[in-house]
């Protein structure tokens, strides 16, 4: 099937920065008082083995700055969007975060906004907001939006453990979105959904089961609506870049969508695990760096979050 007419918006190459320390998920679970049986579940069934964590002396803002600078490549962005899940992070408590980041990125006159309260879909939602911003009347073809993503999870262990679901790490992503012109990934379509029944983080056992069911259903529905929005069918999809929560979830997703399991890029789960809203773009960068992507490949980027929120973006790989 032929893709829909392009919106003229593209994503440039994704920059990833990881801290200098990797911790075992079982160690994090033990520190936070979780049952050893749950730790074994995370390791054996979910495939979660390691989680990146800031090493002593490292600063979270340094990771954000390094990723942002690489994504900008010496260029400019009139808008910076920082997507994050955790509402309280150590660097923000010192005040002046936005001004410091603008200065360090060489963007003193640019607007800087945080995207939050939608948890792990915040980064992909940033892509949609950037797309709308770059379609405004009179936009310059040289304008760009810089999207930053990730959370300083290790500052508070209890916040990084999502019982029965995942453990969050300290990885950072950055990507520039531009109008028209050539970019590595052309935006083809997208979709979002939510189910407000799960707005509280702490769920009873019964509601946790229902939440898991809703996540399966809504992840599939949101991805398929995004595929249709792009003018495609599931058979036209070459790769899925998923939320790196656990591999069992994505085996079910592949069965329900008909997308082959070997086309769902989950191989970062044991090595890097879940990194909040940056997961799908980390998977995309990993697929790029390992030589899997070819011009013309269509990819579903998919995030889901407590809340419950879901976001899918379809991109097509362009020539270098």
Q: pLDDT digits over 93-140, tens only?
A: 678 999 999 999 999 999 999 999 999 999 999 999 999 999 999 999
Residue 187's nearest CA partner among 4, 16, 15 is: 4
Tokens of 162: 């999502």
Greatest pairwise CA separation for the chain in angstroms? 58
- Residue 1 pLDDT: 39
User: What does pLDDT average to over the chain?
Assistant: 91
- Residue 4 pLDDT: 38
Neighbouring C-beta atoms of residue 80, cutoff 10 Å: 24
Q: What is the pLDDT of residues 73-106, one digit of tens each?
A: 999 999 999 999 988 776 666 789 999 999 999 9
pLDDT band of residue 310 (cuts 50, 70, 90) is very high
- Residue 235 pLDDT: 95
CA pair distance 317, 320, nearest whole angstrom: 9
pLDDT band of residue 41 (cuts 50, 70, 90) is confident
Look-up: residue for tokens 């879940």? Answer: 274
**Alpha helices in the chain, H assignment, sequence order:** 25-31, 36-44, 60-72, 90-93, 97-105, 122-134, 157-160, 205-229, 247-257, 269-272, 279-289
The answer to whether residues 208 and 164 touch, using CB atoms and an 8 Å cutoff, is: yes
Tokens of 317: 């790989």
pLDDT at residue 249 greater than cutoff 70: yes
Q: Quick one: what percent of the chain has pLDDT higher than 90?
A: 72
User: Bigger pLDDT: 83 or 41?
Assistant: 83
- Residue 93 pLDDT: 62
Whether omega for the bond prior to residue 308 falls within 30 degrees of 0, making it cis, is yes
**CA 99 vs CA 21, 39, 87, 94, 312: distances in Å:** 28, 40, 18, 12, 31
pLDDT at residue 188 greater than cutoff 60: yes
Residue 156's nearest CA partner among 88, 208, 106, 107 is: 88
pLDDT at residue 6 greater than cutoff 70: no
**CA 297 vs CA 23, 136, 171, 190, 288: distances in Å:** 34, 28, 26, 16, 11
Kindly calculate the radius of gyration of the chain based on its CA atoms and give it in whole angstroms: 19
pLDDT at residue 3 greater than cutoff 50: no
- Residue 2 pLDDT: 36
Cα 124 to the center of its chain, rounded Å: 6
Q: Is the dihedral of CA 215, 305, 206, 273 positive or negative?
A: positive
- Residue 5 pLDDT: 37
The answer to whether residues 130 and 81 touch, using CB atoms and an 8 Å cutoff, is: yes
Residue 177's nearest CA partner among 138, 137, 133, 136 is: 133
Mean pLDDT across 193-221 = 85
pLDDT at residue 14 greater than cutoff 90: yes
């Amino acid at each position: 099937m032929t893709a829909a007419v392009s919106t003229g918006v593209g994503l440039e190459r994704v920059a990833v920065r990881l801290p200098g320390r990797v911790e075992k998920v079982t160690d994090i679970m033990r520190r936070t008082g979780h049952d050893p049986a749950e730790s074994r579940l995370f390791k054996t069934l979910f495939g979660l083995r390691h989680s990146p964590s800031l090493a002593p002396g490292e600063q979270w803002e340094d990771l954000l700055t390094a990723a942002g600078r690489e994504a900008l490549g010496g260029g400019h962005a009139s808008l910076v969007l920082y997507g994050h899940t955790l509402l309280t992070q150590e660097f923000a408590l010192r005040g002046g975060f936005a001004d410091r980041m603008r200065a360090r990125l060489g963007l003193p006159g640019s607007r800087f906004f945080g995207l939050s309260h939608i948890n792990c879909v915040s980064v992909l939602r940033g892509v949609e907001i950037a797309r709308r911003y770059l379609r405004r009347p009179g936009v310059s073809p040289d304008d760009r939006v810089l999207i930053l993503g990730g959370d300083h999870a290790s500052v508070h262990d209890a916040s990084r453990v999502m019982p029965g679901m995942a453990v969050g790490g300290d990885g950072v992503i950055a990507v520039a979105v531009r109008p028209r012109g050539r970019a590595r990934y052309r935006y083809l379509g997208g979709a979002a959904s939510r189910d407000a029944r799960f707005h509280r983080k702490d769920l009873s056992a019964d509601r946790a089961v229902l939440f898991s069911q809703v996540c399966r259903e809504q992840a599939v529905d949101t991805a398929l609506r995004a595929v249709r929005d792009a003018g495609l069918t599931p058979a036209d999809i070459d790769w899925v870049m998923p939320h790196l929560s656990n591999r069992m979830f994505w085996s079910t997703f592949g069965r329900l969508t008909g997308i082959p399991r070997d086309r769902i890029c989950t191989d970062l789960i044991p090595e890097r695990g879940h990194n909040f809203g940056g997961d799908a773009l980390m998977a995309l960068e990993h697929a790029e760096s390992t030589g899997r992507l070819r011009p013309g490949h269509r990819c579903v980027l998919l995030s889901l979050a407590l809340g419950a929120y879901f976001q899918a973006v379809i991109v097509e790989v362009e020539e270098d």
